[in-house]
């Protein structure tokens, strides 16, 4: 599948991406598109093309698999992201992390405010940084404002793991990777995660790897 031509208008980029069926190629860290603030969506894609693009993002997220995907992760610098989390984790993990199922959602021009919220720290990964995870301290509750794919306003409070997903995907649209916020001493390969750090919280990893968790 051909990658999008970043010098072409956004609609042409998306048409190029959608020319072949199946999951879209995910851009890896190091590509400049992941480090540029994405352009606000203001109708650059016609409704039919937007719907096709959203469906491609959904398919790609499921195939990866992941619980969120932002347009820059497939090379398109638009402020659009999708999230969905069936939360297939043990009950103990779900309780500690506040991980509850989330339906499929489209976030258009999202922003969040976590001011005043307590911070929670957990291991986090990213489809654009494959093979690794690191502990990130984030507000445990955020207020999300955005539109959906129909242009309807969204103003909603998220807490626990859904709040983390919202922050992670919105950060992508601001040109940030989770590693920019991570405790770098916690950086662990997926193999190390499975061998050492499968606990619901990162307390043991903090003690062994030498980093602090928020109080």
Looking at the annotation, which residues are catalytic?
169
- Secondary-structure breakdown of the chain: helix, strand, coil percentages, each rounded to the nearest 5: 35, 30, 40
CB 104 within 8 A of CB 62: no
- Could you give the angle at the alpha carbon of 171 between the alpha carbons of 166 and 176, nearest 5°? 155
Q: Cα(188)–Cα(208) distance, rounded to whole angstroms? A: 12
126 is in an annotated binding site: yes
168 is in an annotated binding site: yes
User: Exposed, middle or buried by CB within 10 Å (0-12, 13-18, 19+), for 192?
Assistant: middle
Residue 47 CA to residue 145 CA, distance in Å, equals 21
Q: Rounded distance, CA 179 to CA 100, Å?
A: 24
Does residue 146 have a known ligand-binding role? Answer: no
Residues annotated within a binding site for Fe cation: 126, 168, 172
Residues annotated within a binding site: 126, 168, 172
């Amino acid at each position: 599948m051909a990658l999008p031509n970043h010098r072409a208008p956004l609609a042409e980029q998306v048409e190029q991406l959608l020319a072949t069926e199946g999951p879209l190629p995910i851009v890896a860290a190091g590509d400049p598109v992941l480090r540029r603030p994405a352009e606000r969506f203001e109708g650059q894609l016609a409704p039919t093309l937007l719907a096709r693009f959203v469906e491609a993002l959904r398919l790609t997220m499921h195939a990866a698999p992941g619980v969120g995907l932002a347009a820059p992760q497939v090379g398109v610098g638009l402020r659009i992201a999708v999230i969905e989390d069936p939360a297939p984790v043990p009950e103990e993990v779900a309780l500690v992390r506040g991980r509850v199922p989330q339906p499929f959602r489209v976030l258009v021009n999202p922003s969040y405010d976590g001011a005043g919220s307590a911070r929670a720290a957990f291991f986090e990964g990213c489809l654009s940084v494959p093979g690794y995870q690191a502990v990130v301290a984030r507000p445990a509750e955020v207020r999300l404002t955005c539109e959906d794919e129909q242009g309807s306003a969204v103003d909603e409070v998220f807490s626990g793991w859904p709040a983390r997903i919202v922050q992670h995907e919105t950060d992508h649209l601001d040109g940030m990777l989770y590693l920019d916020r991570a405790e770098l001493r916690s950086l662990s390969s997926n193999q190390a995660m499975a061998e050492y750090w499968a606990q619901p919280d990162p307390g043991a990893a903090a003690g062994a790897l030498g980093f602090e968790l928020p109080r």
